[in-house]
Amino acid sequence: MNQILIIYTGGTIGMMSDPKTKVLRPINFEQIMENVPELERLNARIMVHSFEHIIDSSNMNPDIWSEIAGLIKDNYDQVDGFVILHGSDTMAFTSSALSFMLENLAKPIIFTGSQLPISAIRTDAKENLMTAIEIAKAKKFERARVPEVCIYFDYKLFRGNRAFKYNSSKFEAFRSPNYPILAESGVHLKFSINDIRQPVDGPLKVHKKLASDVAVLKLYPGISPKVVKNILDADVRGIVMETFGAGNTTTDKWFTDLLKGAINDGKVILDISQCKVGTVELGRYETSKELKDMGIANGFDMTYEAAVTKMMFLLGQYEDPLIIKELLETDLRGELTVS
């Protein structure tokens, strides 16, 4: 019988409507169990770690990511897999961060939650929770079927650092347009074997140090020099720049001069596209060739969530901007496709 650790951080899945105010309030895990008696029929020993203070995922932060990573490290040898109950709003940030923080991962870490509370009549919470546990304990030849950090939502399993929340009102809350789903739930669980990363030999390494001194520069036509300068001059070491199309920006001299100045000051700038589908191709167009020449890092097809958390992770591990730039452009945990 497989042993699964459920880490309950909060989120809509663990909410209940107050009869008087109709406002959603958090409930404890015992109350969640009361709404899913089917859990007792699973062929698994379920352990639970509930956060002392259940949080809305909008309050998620790197300190809590480190706490979750520590819980995984402390229980890694005792369990076969992990299910993390988490609010959907920032789930893709947390799953992306954990994918970088956990090196040589060989066991499933499945994030899930719901769009409706588990006590609601039409809730999606029960299916999400039950199937997440099934995936976390799934093995073949005594090896985990999905030794990755993943998100399970609405019958689909996504790589955690490839998904993003795109819909706040449908059960189909997440998408992963640049990478295939890893499994799909129907009458049977169907795993996409060729798309699942296999673990490398070696013990689990947990990297808890993150640096949150990251700024975001989202471009738009007509952005002013004052706005760009204020962001680039901020007291940060890393900047995620959301550009147009395949990584393009304005070629106005004031703009490129400001970017060069930030790089000369030792800052690392990562170029990702505002498009949800496709990849950055620095140098393909004249409007991005100068970016490549000055040392802007190519984010390829990374999601915004993966780009921000990968920057935090690398800034926490290294000081040299050139090393950080090289690793930003390197596929570390299946987060990007090098074109």
As a whole number of Å, the end-to-end CA separation of the chain is 43
Decide if 12 is catalytic. Answer: yes
Residues in the chain: 339
Question: Cα separation of 252 and 279, whole Å?
Answer: 23
Question: Cα separation of 324 and 100, whole Å?
Answer: 14
Nearest residue to 15 via CA among 104, 101, 89, 113? 113
Angle of the 253-264 helix axis to the 225-232 helix axis, nearest 10: 10
Question: Cα separation of 261 and 266, whole Å?
Answer: 9
Angle of the 62-75 helix axis to the 91-101 helix axis, nearest 10: 50
Structure tokens at 111: 């994030």
C-alpha distances (whole Å) from 212 to each of 61, 96, 98, 208 are: 9, 14, 15, 12
Q: Of the residues 9, 12, 123, 309, which is catalytic?
A: 12
Residues 6+ apart with CB under 8 A from 158: 150, 151, 152, 174, 176, 179, 181, 182
- State which amino acid sits at residue 261: G
Nearest residue to 300 via CA among 263, 275, 319, 322? 275
Contact 134, 42 (CB under 8 A): yes
Question: Cα separation of 151 and 144, whole Å?
Answer: 16
Nearest residue to 212 via CA among 127, 313, 90, 101? 313
**Catalytic sites, residue numbers:** 12
